[in-house]
């Protein structure tokens, strides 16, 4: 049984998609052991609680700096013997300490076709740049933001009348497909990282 930790900061729709895939048996032999939020009133945290999951708010203000916060995260993850960390709208940059301790065991979802449009406000930036296609990327997390080896991507068209909201919504539909798919591949030990490339075995 693979133990998953989901880290969120807000709505938690990707967390819900992963949970649904486990509940419905699409992802087998895996469980969500803990949901951690850095925001006390994250809607996703409330949902986790209502679902009877171990749902924890870890307040960044109680720790002096990023690395000390991440030391606490790693302590909790180690204690629970977590196999896979899913960042799902977790709005913090991960320290090198965290990456080193969970190398190739942290994955993230980003709402663009990386390496285009890393960082924040990416759907609006894609529209402003005039790209005709955007999408989303699930990738392993390394020391650089939105940079690690790419596991799965999905493409959506950018339409002439798109707004941040309409493009984000179109991308989100795909996020909810590819994130559970990536988790399934990971938990079935079917991902092999070779340099920057992630191969399905």
Catalytic residues: 110
Distance in angstroms (rounded) separating the CA atoms of residues 48 and 163? 31
Based on CB atoms, which residue is closest to ligand GRF, 14 or 134? Answer: 14
Which residue has tokens 């469980």? Answer: 31
Distance in angstroms (rounded) separating the CA atoms of residues 4 and 18: 10
Segment interacting with ligand GRF (CB under 6 A) among 72-80, 96-104, 105-113, 151-159: 105-113
Q: Does 135 help bind ligand GRF (rule: CB under 6 A)? A: no
Q: How far is the CB of 56 from ligand GRF (least distance, A)?
A: 16
Cβ(114)–Cβ(33) under 8 Å? no
Asked if residue 33 lies in contact with residue 3, where contact means CB atoms within 8 angstroms, the answer is: yes
Q: Which tokens belong to 173?
A: 């539909």
Binding segment for ligand GRF among 8-16, 76-84, 151-159, 193-201 (CB under 6 A)? 8-16
User: Among residues 7, 13, 37, 74, which is the contact residue for ligand GRF, using CB under 6 A?
Assistant: 13
DSSP structure class, residue 61: G
Asked whether position 95 contacts ligand GRF by CB under 6 A, the answer is: no
Site for ligand GRF in 51-80 (CB under 6 A): none
Give the interface size with ligand GRF as a residue count (CB under 6 A).
15
Query: 199, 93, 183, 188: which is closest to 150 by C-alpha?
Result: 199
**Structure token pair of residue 164:** 């941040």
Q: Contact region for ligand GRF (CB under 6 A) — 19-27, 31-39, 65-73, 106-114?
A: 106-114
Which CB atom, from 33 or from 137, has the smaller least distance to ligand GRF? 137
* C-alpha span between 93 and 79 (Å, rounded): 22
DSSP of 102-119: TTTSEEEEESS-TTTT-S
Question: For ligand GRF, which residue has the nearest CB?
Answer: 89
Summarize as ranges the residues that interact with ligand GRF (CB under 6 A).
Answer: 8, 10-14, 44, 88-89, 109-111, 136, 172, 175
């Amino acid at each position: 049984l693979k133990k998953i930790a989901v880290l969120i900061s807000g709505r938690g729709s990707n967390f819900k998609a992963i949970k649904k895939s486990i509940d419905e048996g699409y992802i087998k032999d895996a469980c969500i052991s803990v949901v951690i939020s850095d925001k006390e009133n994250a809607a996703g945290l409330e949902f986790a609680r209502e679902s009877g999951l171990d749902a924890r708010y870890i307040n960044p203000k109680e720790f002096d700096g990023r690395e000390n916060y991440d030391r606490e995260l790693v302590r909790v993850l180690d204690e629970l013997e977590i196999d896979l960390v899913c960042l799902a709208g977790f709005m913090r940059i991960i320290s090198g300490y965290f990456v080193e301790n969970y190398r190739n065991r942290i994955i993230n979802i980003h709402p663009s076709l990386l390496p285009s449009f890393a960082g924040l406000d990416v759907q609006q930036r894609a529209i402003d740049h005039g790209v005709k296609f955007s999408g989303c990327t699930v990738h392993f997390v390394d020391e650089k933001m939105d940079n690690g080896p790419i596991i799965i991507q999905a493409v959506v068209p950018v339409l002439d009348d798109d707004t941040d909201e309409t493009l984000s919504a179109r991308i989100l539909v795909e996020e909810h497909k590819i994130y559970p798919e990536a988790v399934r591949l990971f938990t079935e030990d079917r991902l092999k990282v070779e340099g920057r490339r992630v191969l399905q075995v």
